[in-house]
Every structure is written in structure tokens, then in C-alpha cells.
Amino acid sequence: GAGVSQSPRYKVTKRGQDVALRCDPISGHVSLYWYRQALGQGPEFLTYFNYEAQQDKSGLPNDRFSAERPEGSISTLTIQRTEQRDSAMYRCASSLAFRGDHEQYFGPGTRLTVT
């Protein structure tokens, strides 16, 4: 079956532009997570959703970052007025439920480069 998909896979944007990163989780997965992974580092938590409700956005670096999941399926991470320090791999993960030891399935990521 299809895994987690993300688009675009690569995004190059100029400083000051807004970008929208899309995540399509595994069908039926309740929880959806966004992580950011710097080169040579592990993924760092940004935010997560159970169904359409954003449960925790404590990992978002600042108010330029926002995320939504309006119908409890596809999610969009938006970065406004991008800065060079926003350059990183942005990863999405989904899990079947939000209780218990449910495996998080990661997507291939979106490589964002801000020039």
C-alpha cells in the first residue's frame, strides 16, 4: 500500500517568500506529525495533529510557522517570510492511533532551500 507522501520533494525559494509543504498520510492514520531535520542531525519535533485538531505546536520555531489539517487527512506546513535558517529537510509522519506504542511512518521529506 501507499506510504506517507510529501510534496514537493525539493523546494528552492528566495528569502522573504512564503512556502507551503504538503503531507499526505497513510489512509486511516489518525495522528500526523511534522518534524524538521537538519543535515547530520535527527528529526526535531515541530507539531502534531490528532484527526483535524492540532494538539501541540510547542516545537514550531516562531509564528512564521503554521500548520493545518482541515479534514483530518492531508496536512500543510506553511512558512511565511522564509529565512535562510529555515533551510532543512521537513519530514511528515503518521501513525494509526495516538495511544499505545504505535509506529510512526515517515515520509521521504521535502528538502527546503532558502537562498
Contact residues: another protein, CB under 8 A: 4, 31, 33, 35, 40-45, 48, 50, 55-56, 59, 91, 93, 95, 98-99, 101-109
Give me the least distance between CB of 22 and another protein, in Å please.
Answer: 15
Task: Give the C-alpha separation, 97 to 65, whole Å.
Answer: 25
Q: Which is nearer to another protein, 13 or 45 (CB)?
A: 45
Say which amino acid occupies 55: Q
How would you label 61-90 residue by residue, b for 16+ Cβ within 10 Å and e otherwise?
eeeebebebeeebebebebeebeeebbbbb
Neighbouring CB atoms inside 10 A of 32's CB total 29
Q: Which is nearer to another protein, 28 or 40 (CB)?
A: 40
Give me the least distance between CB of 92 and another protein, in Å please.
Answer: 9
Task: Give the C-alpha separation, 78 to 113, whole Å.
Answer: 14
Q: Which is nearer to another protein, 45 or 80 (CB)?
A: 45
Give me the least distance between CB of 111 and another protein, in Å please.
Answer: 10
Q: Which is nearer to another protein, 80 or 106 (CB)?
A: 106
